[in-house]
Amino acid sequence: MPRTLPLRALWLLVPPALVMIWAIWLHDPSDQERIERLCRRAARAFDGGDASDCVAELATDFSLEGRRLDRAGLRSALASFFLRERGGLFGESPWRVELPREALWIDLAPDSGADARVELQAEFRRRRSQLSASQPPDWVACIELELRRVGNSFEVVRATTPRTLSGRALFP
């Protein structure tokens, strides 16, 4: 006759099972959270003045709409921008970027054929000696991104030319 566990022993297994389920749920972010983290990593890379990290989330076949600028070209343009703005190889970038949560829209079922689409408004501020939380941005860029799923993550495959809130291209 096979031995079965008494009912009390089964109750001992429930708490560890619940803890495991909670841990898996906690460590497996949603697609929405993954995409938001991707955008915030790129913003932190910009704040740090690191052109390579800025383009790390871009696909190898990335393209900037309306321009013949690929991933390597964008990295070069950013590196040149950071060098010019810092006044050399060393020093801190005088710019910082913020992505307000309310200005980040993520569509996980776009009509465009991409796996996800993001619209964001990036607020750029020049670092000053006394930064105020209420300091208005020096400029705001409206950008649309198309993302492709790669395994358990996403990469940016296409971006629109950044525009101001009025719709004018930032870099004509």
DSSP string, 95-121: EEEE--GGGEEEESS-TTSSSEEEEEE
Q: Where are the domains of the chain?
A: 30-159
> pTM for the full model?
0.74
Tell the burial category of 122 from Cβ atoms under 10 Å away from its Cβ (0-12, 13-18, 19+).
Answer: buried
Q: pLDDT digit string (tens) for 22-62?
A: 655 555 678 888 899 999 999 999 988 888 998 999 999 99
Q: Tell me which fold the domain 30-159 belongs to.
A: Nuclear Transport Factor 2; Chain: A, (3.10.450)
Retrieve residue 95's tokens.
């710019």
Q: Which two tokens stand for residue 146?
A: 């198309």
pLDDT digits (tens, 9 = 90+) for 60-94: 999 888 777 889 998 998 888 888 887 666 677 78
